[in-house]
Amino acid sequence: MKMKWEENVRRVVPYVPGEQPEGSRLVKLNTNECPYPASPRVVEALRAVEADSLRLYPDPETGELRQVLADRYRVKKEQVFVGVGSDDVLANAFLAFFNSEKPLLFPDITYSFYDVWAELFGINYERVPLNDELRIVAEDYRRENGGIIFPNPNAPTGIFEELSVVREILEANRDVVVIVDEAYVDFGGVSALPLLEEYDNLLVVQTFSKSRAMAGARIGFAIGNEKLIGYLNDVKFSFNSYTMSRPAIAMGVACVKDDAYFREIVEKVVNTRERTKAELRKLGFSFPDSRANFLFATHERIPAKELFEACRAEQIYVRYFAKERIDNYLRISIGTDEEMDILLDFLREYVANH
């Protein structure tokens, strides 16, 4: 029976995150986490959180974390916004910047949270199809719109578009906010951050969940011009003053300070990715040239869904999207070399027998 109060309930179809199975035997290559632990400095910072400080509210401005990020990316602290993972940053940005009657534009194949946020906040949107090579075409974004967002590298394709493409989109859209979602940029892309000097309508969003191996700590950030960040802060402070816990701030600061470790684990993931590409090709897989920490692979003969289920039965978790245009692809996160060998051994045998 429907209750009367249900009439005023906001009906939404939420984003479905990848499975988070727990267990030690399984090979988890389904949510693009980093296979290496967070920096030892991060763990030290967590252990060092003062017991008595937990009773006190954290700094609502997260000043220290914003300052180390500002130093690291050579911008001012006032240009940095911090949130509970990049999803929190993006949700706040949608709420702050996409209030036009004209449609928000994003690729048809992309991070599947974009349309969820648009639906949640009642934002008009249109999907712009990727071309046949699954590439973003800049001139497709030369049309009336109320804002633009795309990931670079794109997800789940892994394809990185050169900054000339980003610049072309910005150049044609100076009157709306353009968000470049760089969740995966550290694995071989080039950040759009240098374009901030020219474009005051650009917001660059990054995360600690992938290249910084801290998905469990929930930290993301955005960098833009001061005015843009000011508006984003106004919305954030109208939603929740204190989003970042004391342990999260401490861990985030320690992480950014340990740049050597960050570079080391990113390099390892990139090396494993390139080796995995070569091995998968030998088995009849093809994929766009990923610059992310995952591959988006399709097999010449065996349907992706079948492979997904066969892997899962072996406790090897990859991601499959039952969605038009991409329902014959597997998104495979790059794990350790050992994890990739387990996957490759299994696929080698499976492909040989089917």
Question: Per CB under 8 A, which of residues 321..350 are in contact with its own copies?
Answer: none
Out of 25, 27, 41, 52, which residue is the one contacting its own copies (CB under 8 A)?
52
Q: In the complex, what is the shortest distance from the CB of residue 326 to its own copies, in angstroms, rounded to a whole number? A: 20
Binding region for its own copies (CB under 8 A) out of 96-104, 149-157, 289-297, 323-331? 96-104
Binding region for its own copies (CB under 8 A) out of 73-81, 241-249, 294-302, 334-342? 241-249
Interaction between residue 198 and its own copies (CB under 8 A): no
- Please, which residue, 159 or 250, has the CB nearer to its own copies? 250
Out of 65, 215, 254, 340, which residue is the one contacting its own copies (CB under 8 A)?
215
Interaction between residue 226 and its own copies (CB under 8 A): no
Tokens of 28: 């988890």
Binding region for its own copies (CB under 8 A) out of 39-47, 127-135, 155-163, 276-284? 39-47
CB proximity list for 331: less than 8 A, separation 6 or greater: 30, 32, 156, 294, 295, 296, 318, 319, 320, 321
Interaction between residue 237 and its own copies (CB under 8 A): yes
Q: Is 126 helix (H, G, I), strand (E, B) or coil?
A: strand
CA dihedral 337, 72, 289, 165 (to 10 degrees): 170
- Please, which residue, 11 or 25, has the CB nearer to its own copies? 11
Binding region for its own copies (CB under 8 A) out of 16-24, 73-81, 289-297, 316-324? 16-24
Do residues 58 and 246 lie in contact, with contact meaning Cβ atoms separated by under 8 Å?
A: yes
C-alpha to C-alpha distances, 252 to 42, 181, 216, 236, 346, nearest whole angstrom: 7, 19, 12, 19, 37
Out of 26, 41, 46, 310, which residue is the one contacting its own copies (CB under 8 A)?
46
C-alpha to C-alpha distances, 345 to 284, 297, 338, 353, nearest whole angstrom: 14, 16, 10, 13
Provide the 8-state DSSP code for 213. S
Out of 27, 29, 42, 254, which residue is the one contacting its own copies (CB under 8 A)?
42
Interaction between residue 153 and its own copies (CB under 8 A): no
Interaction between residue 151 and its own copies (CB under 8 A): no
Q: How far apart are CA 214 and CA 208, in angstroms?
A: 5
